[in-house]
Each structure stands twice: as C-alpha cells, then as structure tokens.
Chain A
C-alpha cells in the first residue's frame, strides 16, 4: 500500500497526464494538417520549368490572373474548383481550346509561352500521368 502510494505521486500523475495529452494533441494536429492539405486542391503555374505561382483552389474560389509567360501574357481563370486558360497570345490557341481542367494530374500547356498550369496531387493514390 505504502509502496504504491509512493510509486505514483501527484507530480507523476500530472506528468503522465501531460505526456498523454501532448501525444494526443500532436496526433490530432498531424491528422488535421494532413486532412486540411488534401481537402483543398493546389494549383500550380510554371513558366520555363520554374514555379511562378502556387495557390489553393476551393469550390468557391473564383479569380482571374494574368501571368507573363516566356514572351507574352496569359490569363488564367479559376472557378468552381476548375481552371482554364482564358486568353493567350499564341498562334494556335491550343491552351485556350483545351478548356477546363479540374483534377490532379491534368494540365494545360502553352508551348510558345513555356507556361504550364496544373493541379498538384496531394495524396499518392492519384494518377502518375495522362497519355493524350
């Protein structure tokens, strides 16, 4: 009886609770941050192989932005979790004609401007590429 009482003093108990709480907090924080990251999509804009813009896209994100490609500006529109090239100054207009993209792995490439936009894949279950 006596031994037992000395084995877990008040301080010990407090410490034990603190440790357990800390672990729980850490665990929950990791879960939340992971969940948070995959709940939203990340859109990435690259010019000449370098990332120039990176932003979260939620269902209600609606924006337009003009980005300078290698030679000319390109206007990108984001709406309802999708994005497209709205306007580009290139002869073929292939990037504009491609229309909307919405999922990870999808991308729009504008070759004359060396500009690429795509959605980042947040979890590993997605596609590694698309043949087209």
Chain B
C-alpha cells in the first residue's frame, strides 16, 4: 500500500511540475508561428510579418511576396538606365530587325504589322524610365501592373482637379529629392517644368496597353503610387499562398491581412511634430493605412526646410496640411490618396474622401487642427498632444 501511494504521489508531482513549466511554452508553440522577412526596397525598409501554423508555408509566401515587390520596384524606378529604342514584336520576331532599321532611317520603307508604332520594355528594364525616355517620341507598350497604376493615377488627377498629377517628374527633378542638389529652383525654371506637367497629355491606350507622354521632356514620377501598389500585390500573394494573418510595413505604408489573434491589428499614427509620440491608434482588419506627412523627407536649403510633397499646381511643397492618413482596403489606393488628399485644401479633401466608398481619412492641418471622417469612429483611439485641436467632425 505505502509503496503504491508514494509512486502515485511522485507521478502526480511530476505531472504538476511539467504542466506548470510546460503549459505556457506548449500553447504558444501549437497556436501560432511567426515568420518575418525584411528587405530594403523602393528607398525604404520593408518588413513582412506572417502568422500561421505552417512555418514552411509562411516562409515561402513571404519570399514570393518580396519577389513581387522587387519586380514592381524595378518596373517603376524612374532613375534606371534604359537601352536604346526598339520596336514592338515577339522577342524572336524577324520583323523586329526591320522595324528597328526603320527607326534609324525614318525615310526608308519599313514593314510594320501594327498600324501603331509601339516601343516595348526590354526584360528587366524599368517601364517608367522607358516611358520617360520615349516622351514625345512614341508610345510604349507596358505590362498590366504599370498600366493599372497609371490608370488609377489618371482617375485621381480628374477627381482632384489636377491637385494630384503623376507627370510631376520634371518638377521633382528640379527639387532633386533623394539627390544631393541643394538649391531652391528659380521661379522661371519651375514655370518651365510646370508647363510639362499635365496628366491629360499622358495617353493611355487600353487596347494596346500602351502609354505615351505627348511632349518631349515630360516624365512620370510614381513615388506616390508604386510603393502602395507593390504592398498590395504582396498582400495578394500572401493571401493566395494561404496566409491568413500578416502585416506588411513598407516604411509606414501598412497593409494587414485578417486579424491578429482574434483582435484587430493595432497601428499607431505618427504625431507629425513629435517623433516620440502618436496622434492616434487605429484598429485594422484586412485593410491598409498610409500616411503622407511633411516631416517624412525634408531638405534644408539656406536654413529653411522643404518637404517632398510638391504641388503640381504651384511647383512648391504643399503647406495646407502636415499629415494625412488614409485607411482603405487597397494599399495602392491608400498610398495614392494620402498624397492626393495632402495636396488639397482640408475641406475639399474631406468632401472628396466622403464620396469614395470604404475609405476613411485622418488629417492634420498646418494650424494643428484635426479632421477625420465619421467612419473612423470606433476604429481609432485618439491620443493627440495638447497642441492639437479638433475641427468640426464630419457628419455622415
């Protein structure tokens, strides 16, 4: 009897200890695994954090997502070098040689099976750099992603009545963000560059999926579109691969998949005037949040600072707002809209965003007034410092 009881006690004791020590470890392991990948892409730091039970799947999905982002980055890099002009055709089409010859000698009779003379983008080359190089020369047939981005950009050029313009390249070059240049462009220079900025002179042909900038010297700058679009494509790839919970963060451009363990993801909004503080905390599920702020990229010239969100109407940094956050399911749209709305007057921006379905906005004006759309109610915890004041909230 005695022996049996003590054996029982020993077993019970061991089980108790195992449970106490092992339980927390065991439950964590069985429930969720995290796989995070990080890379420097599109001038920013990108992290993709995935959650699930199958680490191999998470790793592979993350790898594919980064691969897609790299592809979009390559296509949209406008500072990439381009090869000489070439003509349309299959890579091994014998007509190609004739068509190229025709380009070199415009007077000669060349054969061209297509009525429209199109340029194509060589594999691995930047489509945007190609379109810019062919401005005023000929249309360039581009891949579906580039075409979709430009269609979206043109749509918002109309919706914002020109406040957003993807053909801002010549003006951005004068300011030289990302380059060493440290001079304020002369007004005459800016005027000349501004005369080349107009999305109406960007011809998108759906049938041939080609893009043509009508005037020589025009150039596209996809800085406000490409990052968000790439993030969205990455999110789609994760989803297709079977990832149900993930957060992609591309330098503050955020896209979440699903929820984080039953709870929405918590994403802070940076206080535009205090890098240590947050101005609000968003709860996100299957959506994206992107912020445009005047503090993100700043150049100091002769003691005055200039930020990188340049108005295509004036040629100077926009000064009405200091921070605009957009929350909407599609990250490409969120990225574009945060810039477009930043460039507008606060009231106009509110009026526009209320027309767009499933889209919310949090805006801080230059005089530190906060505007936000009614749809954010219950989705945001407001944590602004004392210097901020609430403007009238938007009614439905």
Please indicate whether A and B come from the same complex rather than being unrelated chains: yes
Known contacts A27-B20, A111-B44, A127-B267, A46 near B38 by CB under 8 Å: yes
Instruction: Give the contacting residue for B247; candidates A9, A26, A128; CB below 8 A.
Output: A128
Q: Contact at B2–A9, with CB atoms within 8 Å?
A: yes
In the complex, which residues of chain B have a beta carbon less than 8 angstroms from the beta carbon of A106?
275-276
In the complex, which residues of chain B have a beta carbon less than 8 angstroms from the beta carbon of A105?
268
Q: Contact at A30–B24, with CB atoms within 8 Å?
A: yes
Known contacts A23-B17, A30-B24, A131 near B266 by CB under 8 Å: no
Q: Contact at B297–A129, with CB atoms within 8 Å?
A: no
Q: Contact at B266–A127, with CB atoms within 8 Å?
A: yes
* Interface class of chain A by DSSP: mixed
Least distance between A58 CB and chain B CB atoms (Å): 18
| Chain A binder among B3-11, B188-196, B218-226 | B3-11
Residue of B nearest to A18 (CB): B13
Instruction: Give the contacting residue for A111; candidates B43, B253, B256; CB below 8 A.
Output: B43
In the complex, which residues of chain B have a beta carbon less than 8 angstroms from the beta carbon of A99?
275-276
A131 to B272, CA, bound (A): 11
Cβ proximity bits B295-313 to A, threshold 8 Å, 1 near / 0 not: 0111100000000000000
Q: What residues of chain B have their CB less than 8 Å away from a CB belonging to chain A?
A: 1-2, 5-6, 9-10, 12-13, 16-17, 20-21, 24, 37-40, 43-45, 178-180, 247, 249, 251-254, 256, 260, 265-270, 275-276, 278, 281-282, 289-291, 293, 296-299, 325
Q: Contact at B276–A132, with CB atoms within 8 Å?
A: no
Q: How large is the interface on A (under 10, 10 to 19, 20 to 34, 35 or more residues)?
A: 35 or more
- In the A-B complex, the 4 residue pairs with the smallest Cβ-Cβ separation, listed nearest first, are A19-B13, A132-B270, A132-B252, A49-B38
Q: List 22 A-B contacts (CB under 8 A).
A: A7-B5, A16-B9, A19-B16, A22-B17, A23-B20, A49-B37, A49-B38, A99-B276, A100-B276, A105-B268, A106-B276, A114-B40, A127-B281, A129-B249, A129-B252, A129-B267, A129-B268, A130-B252, A130-B267, A130-B269, A131-B289, A132-B296
A16 to B12, CA, bound (A): 10
Cβ-based interface call for A73 (8 A): no
Residue of A nearest to B182 (CB): A91
Cβ proximity bits A114-130 to B, threshold 8 Å, 1 near / 0 not: 10100000000011111
Known contacts A91-B180, A109-B44, A130 near B2 by CB under 8 Å: no
In the complex, which residues of chain B have a beta carbon less than 8 angstroms from the beta carbon of A11?
6
Cβ-based interface call for A15 (8 A): yes
Q: Contact at A97–B298, with CB atoms within 8 Å?
A: yes
A44 to B325, CA, bound (A): 28
Q: Contact at A12–B293, with CB atoms within 8 Å?
A: no
Residue of A nearest to B290 (CB): A131
Q: Contact at A12–B13, with CB atoms within 8 Å?
A: no
Instruction: Give the contacting residue for A128; candidates B6, B45, B260; CB below 8 A.
Output: B260
Least distance between B212 CB and chain A CB atoms (Å): 33
Least distance between A97 CB and chain B CB atoms (Å): 7
* Interface class of chain B by DSSP: strand
Q: Contact at A131–B269, with CB atoms within 8 Å?
A: yes
Instruction: Give the contacting residue for B291; candidates A23, A26, A102, A131; CB below 8 A.
Output: A131
A60 to B121, CA, bound (A): 57
Q: What residues of chain A have their CB less than 8 Å away from a CB belonging to chain B?
A: 6-7, 9, 11-12, 15-16, 18-19, 22-23, 26-27, 30, 46, 48-49, 82, 91-92, 94, 97-103, 105-107, 109, 111, 114, 116, 126-132
In the complex, which residues of chain B have a beta carbon less than 8 angstroms from the beta carbon of A130?
252, 267-270, 278
Instruction: Give the contacting residue for B1; candidates A6, A48, A131; CB below 8 A.
Output: A6
Q: Contact at B6–A15, with CB atoms within 8 Å?
A: yes
A58 to B44, CA, bound (A): 30
Least distance between A107 CB and chain B CB atoms (Å): 8
Q: Contact at B5–A12, with CB atoms within 8 Å?
A: yes
In the complex, which residues of chain A have a beta carbon less than 8 angstroms from the beta carbon of B6?
9, 11-12, 15
A112 to B269, CA, bound (A): 25
A100 to B274, CA, bound (A): 10
Q: Contact at B267–A128, with CB atoms within 8 Å?
A: yes
In the complex, which residues of chain B have a beta carbon less than 8 angstroms from the beta carbon of A46?
38
A106 to B267, CA, bound (A): 11
Residue of A nearest to B43 (CB): A111
In the complex, which residues of chain B have a beta carbon less than 8 angstroms from the beta carbon of A27?
20
A12 to B289, CA, bound (A): 63
A129 to B279, CA, bound (A): 14
In the complex, which residues of chain A have a beta carbon less than 8 angstroms from the beta carbon of B256?
128
Q: Contact at B16–A49, with CB atoms within 8 Å?
A: no
Least distance between B314 CB and chain A CB atoms (Å): 23
Least distance between B260 CB and chain A CB atoms (Å): 6
Q: Contact at A131–B20, with CB atoms within 8 Å?
A: no
